[in-house]
Amino acid sequence: MRSSRAPTIIGVILCTLVVIMGGAATAPVATASPTTTAQTQQSQAEVNVSPSNLPGDGSESNPYEISNASELQAIEDDLDASYMLVSDIDASATANTNDGKGFDPLGNTSEPFTGTFNGQGHTITELTINRPSERKTGLFAQIGTFDDQGETEIQQVTLRSVSVVGDFDVGGLVGIQRGGQIRSVTVSGAVSGNGDVGGLTGESSATIRNISVDIEVSAARRTAGGIAGEASGTIQNVSASGSVTGNFTVGGIAGKTGGTIQDSSASVSVTAKQSTAGGIAGETRGTIQNVSATGDVTTSDGLAGGLVGDANFASIQGAVATGTVITRSGSKTGGLVGRLDDDAKILNSSASGDVRGEFTVGGLAGQIDGTVQNASATGNIHGVESVGGFVGRGSGNIQDVIAVGRVSGQQDIGGFAGSFRTQGPGGGQVEDAYWDTQATEQPISAGGTGLTTAQMEGNAALTNMSGLLFGSIWQTVSGNYPELIALADSDTDSDSDSDSGSEASPTVSVSRSPSSSEIAPGEAVTLTTEITGVSGSVSTSSTYQPPVASATVRSVTVNGASVNPILSEATANGSTVTLGDVGSDVTVTITEELTVSEELNVTHQITGDVTAGETTTDFEPVSVTVTDIEPQSPVDEFDTDGNGDIEITELGQAGQAFASGQISITELGEVGAAFAS
């Protein structure tokens, strides 16, 4: 008997709540000093928790449940298990832990995290890591392995107001991603280090998709990006905003990439204190497709582009850059690309931002030695030498392009090209390239055909610019210059969709947690609906038949970022969620929580559909059967060692569960009574 240790059940409960909640009450405590508060936060964050003491068993079907920062730190003791958040986490106390070093990143090079982590739409706030001399820094130090086939996964979590400082391989979420996938994640805050620094991950060689960051990233030496410092895998459907600063090789999404970036956007202020910077990537040796960059790009020594600073062995398609590009000295500055090497190509792309540089300055690219086809440059260009409305200098192959921005400089200036070599070995070719002699204020050019504004605008372009493929690639615009059809469609989705009559259907998947189709009477089940590839307005409708006991819509995200729907309601009979225009080709995730019937042998059938734009898609029905599974009593749930007794640590876990809203005061009382007995 342990009654001498606990005189009353009420006393046990009150003591537990004081310990767990750090003395927090509804009324402020005037006598608490800053020192006392800091010590209390530190003691809370440093509670040592073992995964085996968490609810769940760590399997994919029954993940360990995490509700606070101490339990988050416990992941380091079982790096190949499955975890899920069951509540939001205030991690502000991590600023005072480990002698000011903050949270200890999970995993390492020899033992990376290889399990699964599902945030279930929850938010971790004010996570702090301050380890300027340590490599591989982030919430997770390293995840996945090179032979990982996607088993490692981090998803559905928001890191808000994160502060991460490291050496090399520094990210808000992950230091290095060797394998697996990261999806449906949002990050905001600040991340800094010496090199390979990213808002999401320092370095990635695997899959990243459906990500949103609003971040300040800085690298004292090299390679910094809004999403990843360096990436050789696939980055898809991401958006980045904020600022990225580094010495060289700096990008709005990736500092350096040898993989694929597609269906993504960046509105990031990008600055390279030396060279090689781009609105999407500082340097690429991979594929960049269907992207847009709207942030300004600045370098000191050149190789600057509104999209990419330096493109080698690269393919750029369907790209738009609108930001201002400035090189203070040096060469190779362009509205889209600073330098396009002879093994790289640009297709169906445009640049409209102003460009200012010193040598080799162009509206689309500073230097072109590769292939460019179907592109336009409309920004104003200023340089000193080798300055052109489309290209500053080059020897590549250019076809079906236009340039219409004002051009100024001192030497080798042209409405289309400042200087261009077409003769001899390695010489290039310019075909069906047009520039506006009035708008550029340049009557001559090293290549291309000069026309007046009137000859290039409206239907006049059909006659005067007959080399362009009107109707399939280009289209005329009344009172304006021709535009690329593919890029015009992306800017006017609603008009294009209504005219085409062939809008693609989004992909809809519904998962449940727990994953078992059988559940005890009155228990809760979480449904997660993920809608991928959706554009325009979105609405969902679900029906529960027969009705459940209760239901609520817990969260709605677009590309991992929480949003407020126009309508969000759930009843015992079903749910409805309505969103306005979510943009183009995004992922919408809706999380619902249902409490099933108290009656046995009732099977709840969840059916519904998703409407995106003009297209309606039914999702696969989900069923949950109420069976005679003996639900765990609160005492059984927290008796983690199964010895029939409640220990002080188990009582503490029950108190934490109560503080986070997972159990009621009555259930906490049952656990307290078991401890007191």
DSSP letter string, 415-474: SSEEEE--SSTT--EEEEEEEETTTTT-S--SSSEEE-HHHHSTTHHHHHTTTS-BTTTE
416 and 347 in a single domain? The answer is yes
| CA separation for the pair 646, 627 (Å, rounded) | 28
Q: Examine the fold and report which residue of 461, 491, 521 is the final residue of a domain before the chain moves on.
A: 491
520 and 562 in a single domain? The answer is yes
| CA separation for the pair 428, 519 (Å, rounded) | 69
Radius of gyration of the chain measured on its C-alpha atoms: 29
The predicted pLDDT at position 74 comes to: 96
The number of domains in the chain is 3
Residue stretches of the chain with pLDDT short of 50: 1-9, 18-45, 490-503
Q: Is 304 helix (H, G, I), strand (E, B) or coil?
A: strand
The predicted pLDDT at position 495 comes to: 34
The DSSP H or E segment spanning 239 is strand 234-246
604 and 653 in a single domain? The answer is no
Residue 667: domain span:
3-32+632-676
Residue 376 belongs to a domain = yes
Residue 9 belongs to a domain = yes
| CA separation for the pair 568, 590 (Å, rounded) | 10
Residue 365 belongs to a domain = yes
CA angle 486, 488, 493 (to 5 degrees): 95
The predicted pLDDT at position 493 comes to: 37
User: Cα dist. 154→71, 117, 269 in Å?
Assistant: 17, 5, 28
481 and 568 in a single domain? The answer is no
451 and 480 in a single domain? The answer is yes
The predicted pLDDT at position 277 comes to: 98
* DSSP 8-state code for residue 642: -
Residue 140 belongs to a domain = no
DSSP 584-605: SSEEEEEEEEEE--SSTT-EEE
Q: Contact 409/384 with Cβ under 8 angstroms?
A: yes
596 and 637 in a single domain? The answer is no
CATH assignment of the domain containing 603: 2.60.40.740
Q: Contact 307/351 with Cβ under 8 angstroms?
A: yes
475 and 344 in a single domain? The answer is yes
639 and 572 in a single domain? The answer is no
Q: Which residues contact 650 (CB under 8 A, 6 or more apart)?
A: 53, 638, 639, 640, 641, 671, 675
The predicted pLDDT at position 659 comes to: 65
Residue 473 belongs to a domain = yes
Q: Examine the fold and report which residue of 609, 626, 643 is the final residue of a domain before the chain moves on.
A: 626
371 and 322 in a single domain? The answer is yes
Q: Examine the fold and report which residue of 608, 626, 644 is the final residue of a domain before the chain moves on.
A: 626
Residue 295 belongs to a domain = no
Residue 655 belongs to a domain = yes
Could you give the angle at which helices 9-21 and 665-676 cross, rounded to 10 degrees? 120
The predicted pLDDT at position 19 comes to: 46
Q: Is 523 helix (H, G, I), strand (E, B) or coil?
A: coil
315 and 395 in a single domain? The answer is yes
The whole-angstrom distance between residue 9's C-alpha and the CA centroid of its chain comes to 48
Which stretches of 38-149 are assigned E, i.e. beta strand?
64-66, 82-85, 89-90, 116-125, 128-130, 140-143
466 and 549 in a single domain? The answer is no
| CA separation for the pair 403, 378 (Å, rounded) | 6
327 and 470 in a single domain? The answer is yes
Residue 191 belongs to a domain = no
The predicted pLDDT at position 15 comes to: 53
Pairing of strands 537-545, 574-581: antiparallel
- Predicted structure pTM score: 0.71
Query: 470 is written with which tokens?
Result: 């009107």
